Structure formats: C-alpha cells, structure tokens
Structure 1
Amino acid sequence: MVVGKADLHNHTTASDGTMAPAAVVARAKAAGLAAVAITDHDTMAGVEEALEEGRKLGIAVVPGVELSTVADGRDIHMLAYYPDWHNTLWQERLAGLRATRGARNEMIIERLVQLGIPVTMREVEQIAAEQALAGSDKGKGKTIGRPHIAELLIRKGAVATMAEAFDRYLGEDGAAYVNPPRIHPFEAIEWIREAGGTSVIAHPGLYGRDDLVEQLIGKGVQGIEVYHSDHRPEEERRYAELAKKHGLIITGGSDFHGERQGEVFHGEIGSRTVDAAVLEQLRKNR
C-alpha cells in the first residue's frame, strides 16, 4: 500500500510535455508526492524511463496513457491505467491513434499556411525532436501535438503566448482547428479493458457534456477524473457525487505539461491530487 498523495495525470517529452519522463518523476518526488502517473497522449514510450527513475527515487510510478477519441465532433480524452503496454495489439492501436494525430497536424499546418502563416511540418518536428533529446525514448513511439505547433507560432511571431495560439488558431474555436475522425470513447473503453487496464474519463468538466459522461458510465467506464487543474470547485463536487452514486473510482491530477515561455500548463505537479490508496483500486479494477 502506497501512503501519501498521488498526481495521476502528467505528460512528458514522449508526447507534448517539455520534461523528460525521469525529470517529471523527480519533480513529483520533490513535490512530496508518494505516486505519480505518466499519461502521455496516445503513447506509452515514456513509461519505462519513468518506472526506472521511480525505483531509484522511491516513488510509485503508475503506467498510463491518455487516449484521443471523438464523440459528436468533440474531442474526448480517456485515461487508461495499468494496461499491458507490451501487448502487441495495444501497441498497434496506439500507433493508429498517433497516425491520426499526425494527419491532423498536417491539416492544421495546411490551414495555417492558408491563413498566411509560413509554417511547415518539418519545423514542428524539429521542435518536438529538440524536446525529445531530454528523454531516453529517442523519439520512438513519440506523439507530436498542438503544443508543438503553438510553440512554432510563437517562434514565428504569429502569437505571443501559448494561450493566444490556442485561442486564435488551435483551440476548438480557433481558425486552424480541425478534428478528423477518431475512435469513439465507447470503443476506447473496450480497448482499455482488452489491454487489462482501468478506464477513466479525463477532465469531464472541459466537455460540457454530462449526458455523454452518463453514457460512458453506462458503457462500463470505471472511473472519473474528478480533480483537475481546469475544473471549477462546483464541477469537482458534481463529479465526485456522480462517481460515488455509481460506485466509480475517483481520480485526479494536474495535467502537467511542463513549462513554456515561463508558464506551466495546465497545472504544477501536485496541484491536484488524490490519496495514493486509489492505486489499489486502479489495479484491482483492471
């Protein structure tokens, strides 16, 4: 039994974070956490490095991933904890999600060019490669995402901040936003189950779709990320009540992505936590 606090949502250079997996684990340890989850987008490339660092520092590392799905045209993210990341089918499915994400990146770049902003995918890849050098994954299984494109926009002088990049171009209401077909969250629940993992709805307060949350519960999702850096107190209370009503696991995390231009996204490691006893629930409910 791990005793203390756990931050169950963090990103590394394996996807769109700015810190290597080992550095994220060390930062969690320095923050006084007993456990930290590595939940990169559509990849588990950073898990092995994180586990090794966790053993060295004496902090529990939870292997996880954040899956990209779409329902009714909206991005919906599903967290998977403790899946068998060595499973061939699971890895093939993650590779497929990364391929879709790659196609989306290309579409965004095309739109930005149409808007008169001279950017290339090659430049985005270079930024991602610069960050990947900080980790040990050497780019294998790495995910490139919108934060990398946002950083390029800043370097080009098209925007001043990450927030402006998403507000003007990359967010759901942005001029360059695109959303190609992806798997439905119902399918993600099945994928996670088949991989021996535990499924959790990521930051439901960002979707404005509590009806969909209820549907996911009906389809067998096992937990709700109640505590999140972008959740308001009333949302945390509402989702905690919903989780208790249906006997679901309550999780929480900062959604830490590192620092860009001196600003932490979405929150600092340890800013949102749950009791580390939840790790036993996540393992038992696989």
Structure 2
Amino acid sequence: MRIDLHTHSRASDGTQSPDELVRAAAAAGLDVVALTDHDTAEGWAEAERAAADVGIGLVRGMEISTRHEGQSVHLLAYLPDPTYPPLAEGLTRILEGRVSRVPDVVARLNALGIEITEADVAAVSGDSAASGRPHVADALVQRGVVGDRTEAFTRFLNPGRPAYVDRYAAPLTDMIDAVAGAGGVSVIAHPWGRRSDERPDAATLAALAERGLAGIEVDHQDHAPAARERLRAIATDLGLVATGSSDHHGTGKVDHDLGCHTTPPEQLHRLLELAAAAAARSGRATPQPLLLP
C-alpha cells in the first residue's frame, strides 16, 4: 500500500485543483493521499468527490503555520473539525497574516526595480484561500524575472533575502491543543528540513509529545538519509507515529513528486487510531477517512 500524507492544491499554494491533485495521486499509483493545504480546509469537499470517483483513499488534513521557541514549525493536522472555534479562529488569524504581508513584499520588490503589482499576485493565486510568497514567486515567473519558484525564493523571498517579510504564526502548543480539541491529531512536518541545527531536538519533541503531539514526518525530501534515521529513532523512543510524504505542490516545488516518500501502512493505522480516540474525547463531528484499502 502506497500512502502519501502531505500534499497541496490550489486551495493554498499548489498548482493543481484538489480534483486534479487527487486524480494525479491515483494515476501515480497511490492507494491513499492526504490533502494538507496550508491553514485551510477549503479543498476538502472537492477532493472528497474526486477520491470517490477514482477510488483512492483520502485523509483530510491541513498544514498549520506555527512558531515555537522562536523557530518556524509547520504542523500537519489530520481529521480535525475545522469549525471548532479555537482552531477556526487561529487559522483565520494566520491567513490574515499571509494576505497582509503581500503588499510589503511587492513594495520591497518594487524598490529593487522589479515591476510587479498586487494585481499580478492576485491573478496567479486564483481561488487560493490566501495569497502568499509562493504566489508572489509565480508572479515573478510570469513576469520573466525568475525561471521558477525555487529561484524566486532563493534570490528574493526566503528569510534574509531582500524581499522577505515576516508574518504571524500561531504558537505551536496552542495549535496542538486546538487540533486535539477539534478531534484531530497533529504531526510535525519536516522538522529538520530547513535547518542545520536539528531543532526541535529530542527533548523538545518529548515535551511536545507530552502535550499531545502524535507524530513526526520523518521521510521527507528535505531530510538527508542520516537525519531521517535519527528522527525515526526519536519517534520510536517517544512512541510517536513516523510518517513519510512528498510535500507535493504540483509544478510549484521541484523534486517533490507524488509518492516520492510514503508512510508505512502500520503507521497510518496508528495515526487513524489516535484520531478516532481524539474524536471520541472531543465529541466533535470530525471528517472520516474515505475509501481506505
């Protein structure tokens, strides 16, 4: 069974509609795919219809922008009730932060002599729940300033680059609590993928596990093989689920093809058992996995 638990559609910063993404997952030979758009559940209904049509398993989720001890941390939330007020309010504030920084990013690019407008960004973001840096990158590609998103981030949009603007991210522990209250389970996405100091470290992950963290995304394209093995050992020691996924964004992210990393079936089953227990504790009407083999 091939299981990919981290993908993005145009509801956030992917380049495929939820329908196109799910159909591409089936065509790639996946048995189960999770839709985990940034800070939104907007693509769930369309993905559900496509999954039922093509007969692929679907796990609904989202990737939440958080911060912990001064560090950006992405939190994958699986099967929460997105209407649970503490979660819904947190997501709204995060999305507002995404939208609000676009004018400042555009202004910084203009100051560098690059002709780009907010309308250009809006034109490429389409029906996304919120415009953000990937859409600015797409507008730069459209303008011929860069060849792809990677170049846009490397030259202009990453932290420390001339057009980078910080934004609000929710406290990690608050979001772990909110996901649990919403009847879902949380997994830290690519924890060491963008850092060289291996933070959050084992002690921090242990404290987060005590707080209710369910798992760690171990097998990810941004983790070197040695890092994957260290994270897998930490997950085993702490009794956390160890997932794997592509972090697919369509053509918006190179070398992240659907199914390039996958989650073992036994790890998915553990995650779903934890989600069922969280749903029972919360009393919320949570989304159920669809058509799992």
Tell me if both proteins adopt one fold, taking TM over 0.5 as the criterion.
Answer: yes
Q: Which of the numbers 152, 157, 166 marks the counterpart of 1:179?
A: 166
Q: Which of the numbers 84, 87, 92 marks the counterpart of 1:87?
A: 84
Q: Which of the numbers 197, 200, 217 marks the counterpart of 2:184?
A: 197
- The number of residues matched between the two structures is 270
Looking at structure 2, the residues matched to 200 and 188 of structure 1 have their Cα atoms a distance apart, in angstroms, of 11
CA contact (8 A) 1:41 1:143 kept: no
> Does the residue aligned with 2:33 lie in a helix, a strand or coil?
strand
Residue in structure 1 matched with residue 222 of structure 2 by the alignment: 230
Residue in structure 1 matched with residue 53 of structure 2 by the alignment: 56
> Does the residue aligned with 2:107 lie in a helix, a strand or coil?
helix
CA contact (8 A) 2:243 2:268 kept: no
Post-superposition shift, 1:176?
1.0
Give the partner amino acid of 1:236. R
Identity %: 37
> Does the residue aligned with 1:17 lie in a helix, a strand or coil?
coil
Looking at structure 1, the residues matched to 255 and 175 of structure 2 have their Cα atoms a distance apart, in angstroms, of 24
Residue in structure 2 matched with residue 135 of structure 1 by the alignment: none
CA contact (8 A) 1:167 1:173 kept: no
Cα 1:192/1:209, change in 2 over 3 Å: farther
Post-superposition shift, 1:16?
0.5
Looking at structure 2, the residues matched to 128 and 40 of structure 1 have their Cα atoms a distance apart, in angstroms, of 14
Looking at structure 1, the residues matched to 118 and 254 of structure 2 have their Cα atoms a distance apart, in angstroms, of 23
Which digits, 9 at most, give the CA deviation of each residue in 1:220-246, with x for residues without a partner? Answer: 311000011211111111111110010
Post-superposition shift, 1:106?
2.5
Looking at structure 2, the residues matched to 101 and 111 of structure 1 have their Cα atoms a distance apart, in angstroms, of 16
Looking at structure 1, the residues matched to 106 and 134 of structure 2 have their Cα atoms a distance apart, in angstroms, of 13
State TM-score, norm by structure 1: 0.88
Matched, 1:162 2:159: no
Give the partner amino acid of 1:93. G
Matched, 1:269 2:258: yes
Looking at structure 2, the residues matched to 277 and 254 of structure 1 have their Cα atoms a distance apart, in angstroms, of 18
Post-superposition shift, 1:88?
4.4
> Does the residue aligned with 2:206 lie in a helix, a strand or coil?
helix
Residue in structure 2 matched with residue 254 of structure 1 by the alignment: 246
Which digits, 9 at most, give the CA deviation of each residue in 1:200-237, with x for residues without a partner? Answer: 11001223453424324313311000011211111111
Residue in structure 2 matched with residue 46 of structure 1 by the alignment: 43
> Does the residue aligned with 2:61 lie in a helix, a strand or coil?
strand
Which digits, 9 at most, give the CA deviation of each residue in 1:72-129, with x for residues without a partner? Answer: 5432211001111243443332222100111122221222122222222221011111
Looking at structure 2, the residues matched to 180 and 32 of structure 1 have their Cα atoms a distance apart, in angstroms, of 37
Q: Which of the numbers 13, 20, 23 marks the counterpart of 2:20?
A: 23
5 Å-filtered alignment, 1:85-234, equals 85-129=82-126, 132=127, 142-206=129-193, 207-214=195-202, 215-219=204-208, 220=211, 221-234=213-226
Give the partner amino acid of 2:274. N
Residue in structure 2 matched with residue 281 of structure 1 by the alignment: 270
Return 250-259 or 269-278, whichever deviates more: 269-278
Q: Which of the numbers 26, 29, 32 marks the counterpart of 1:35?
A: 32
Question: Which runs of 5 or more residues in structure 1 are unaligned?
Answer: 133-138
Looking at structure 1, the residues matched to 41 and 168 of structure 2 have their Cα atoms a distance apart, in angstroms, of 22
CA RMSD of aligned residues (A): 1.8
Looking at structure 2, the residues matched to 183 and 56 of structure 1 have their Cα atoms a distance apart, in angstroms, of 36
Residue in structure 2 matched with residue 136 of structure 1 by the alignment: none
Return 235-244 or 159-168, whichever deviates more: 159-168
Looking at structure 2, the residues matched to 122 and 209 of structure 1 have their Cα atoms a distance apart, in angstroms, of 39
Cα 1:209/1:185, change in 2 over 3 Å: farther
> Does the residue aligned with 1:205 lie in a helix, a strand or coil?
coil
Residue in structure 2 matched with residue 242 of structure 1 by the alignment: 234
